[in-house]
Structure 1
Amino acid sequence: MNLFVTGAAGFIGGSIATGLVKAGHAVTGLVRSAEQAEQLKALGITPVVGSLDDRDVLIAQAQASDGVINAASSDHRGAVEALIEGLRGSGKPLLHTSGSSIVGDASGGKGSEVIYYEDQLPEPTVDKAARVAIDNLVLAAAQQGVRSTVLCNTLIYGHSLGVNRDSVQLPRLLKQARKSGVVRHVGPGQNIWSNVHIEDVVALYLLALEKTPAGTFYFVESGEAAFIDMTRAMAKAMGLGEPQDWPLAEAEKEWGYEMANYGLGSNSRVRGRHARELLGWTPKRTSVEAWILDEML
Structure 2
Amino acid sequence: MKIFITGAAGFIGGSIATALVKQGHQVTGLVRNAEQEAEMLSLGITPITGTLDDSGLLCEQARQADAVINAASSDHRGAVDALIAGLQGSDKVFLHTSGSSIVGDASGGKGSDVIYYEGQLPEPTVDKAARVAIDNLVLDAAKRGVRSAVICNTLIYGHSLGVKRDSVQLPRLLKQAQKSGVVRHVGSGQNIWSNVHIEDVVALYSLALAKNPAGTFYFVESGEAAFADMSNAIAKALNLGPAQDWPLKDAEAEWGYEMANYGLGSNSRVRGKNARELLGWVPKRTDVTEWILNEML
Regarding TM over 0.5, the answer is yes
Aligned pair count reads 297
For 1:19 and 1:144, how far apart are their aligned partners in 2? 29
Q: Which letter maps to 1:228?
A: A
Q: TM-score, normalization: structure 1?
A: 1.00
For 1:168 and 1:174, how far apart are their aligned partners in 2? 11
How do residues 97-246 of structure 1 correspond to structure 2 at under 5 angstroms?
Answer: 97-246=97-246
For 1:119 and 1:80, how far apart are their aligned partners in 2? 22
**Match for residue 36 of structure 2?**
36
For 1:18 and 1:113, how far apart are their aligned partners in 2? 37
Q: Which letter maps to 1:4?
A: F
For 1:39 and 1:232, how far apart are their aligned partners in 2? 35
How much does 1:116 deviate?
0.1
For 2:20 and 2:81, how far apart are their aligned partners in 1? 24
- Match status 1:68 vs 2:68: yes
For 1:56 and 1:280, how far apart are their aligned partners in 2? 36
Q: TM-score, normalization: structure 2?
A: 1.00
Any stretches of 5+ residues in structure 1 without a counterpart?
none
How much does 1:155 deviate?
0.1
Q: Which runs of 4+ in 1 moved over 6 A?
A: none
How much does 1:242 deviate?
0.3
Q: Which letter maps to 1:260?
A: A
**Match for residue 265 of structure 1?**
265
Task: Specify the SS of the correspondent of 1:30.
Answer: strand
For 2:52 and 2:39, how far apart are their aligned partners in 1? 19
How much does 1:119 deviate?
1.1
For 2:47 and 2:34, how far apart are their aligned partners in 1? 9
Q: Which letter maps to 2:219?
A: F
How much does 1:117 deviate?
0.1
Any stretches of 5+ residues in structure 2 without a counterpart?
none
Task: Specify the SS of the correspondent of 1:120.
Answer: coil
Task: Specify the SS of the correspondent of 2:256.
Answer: helix
Task: Specify the SS of the correspondent of 1:62.
Answer: helix
**Match for residue 289 of structure 1?**
289
Q: Which letter maps to 2:144?
A: Q
For 2:78 and 2:119, how far apart are their aligned partners in 1? 26
Q: Which letter maps to 2:153?
A: N
Please tell me the root mean square deviation across aligned C-alpha atoms, in Å.
Answer: 0.3
For 1:272 and 1:183, how far apart are their aligned partners in 2? 31
For 1:59 and 1:142, how far apart are their aligned partners in 2? 17
How much does 1:162 deviate?
1.5
